[in-house]
A = this chain, B = another copy of it.
Amino acid sequence: MPVPDAPVTGAHLDQPEPPGGPDRPSQLDPAIAARLRRTPDGLVAAVVRQHDSGEVLMVAWMDDEALHRTLTTGRATYWSRSRREYWVKGATSGHHQYVRSVALDCDGDAVLVSVDQVGAACHTGQRTCFFTELPLTSGEVSS
């Protein structure tokens, strides 16, 4: 995922701990929260694609509250693993992600976020974060 470009106000620590989050309260719909299957640090993977071209732009991470904010504000919001805070994509860079749809996968450990991406998704200035090809050493292809 790209480097966060905008920390925002975090969790409301005077609220009780939610069922899903390890230490951060959330207003996420309990019916959705119950379907999530999280990493040990309470996160699901968020795959972000351009809604019309289908291009995969980046992967970031969401806890319950980041997903809640993404679903209710129309702006893609993530949890930064390194900074341990929420960030709204584009808040300082201007490279906004306007959310068009969000889909949960069959076992609840990933969401697919379709966005209208303004400018570059990657903090390096590239359109997509997936610009480093890894070498394949097998020639097998489909028959």
Chain A residues within CB distance 8 Å of chain B:
1-3, 32, 39-41, 43, 45, 47, 49, 53-56, 58-59, 71-75, 81, 96, 98-107, 109-112, 116, 118, 122-124, 126, 129-142
Also in contact, A130 and B103, with CB within 8 A (given A56-B56, A98-B142): yes
Alpha-carbon distance A98/B32, docked complex (angstroms)? 33
Q: Decide: B106 and A122 in contact? CB cutoff 8 A.
A: yes
Seed contacts A59-B109, A73-B138; 8 additional CB < 8 Å A-B pairs: A1-B109, A58-B105, A73-B140, A74-B140, A99-B138, A102-B133, A106-B122, A118-B142
Chain A interface, DSSP helix/strand/loop, else mixed:
loop
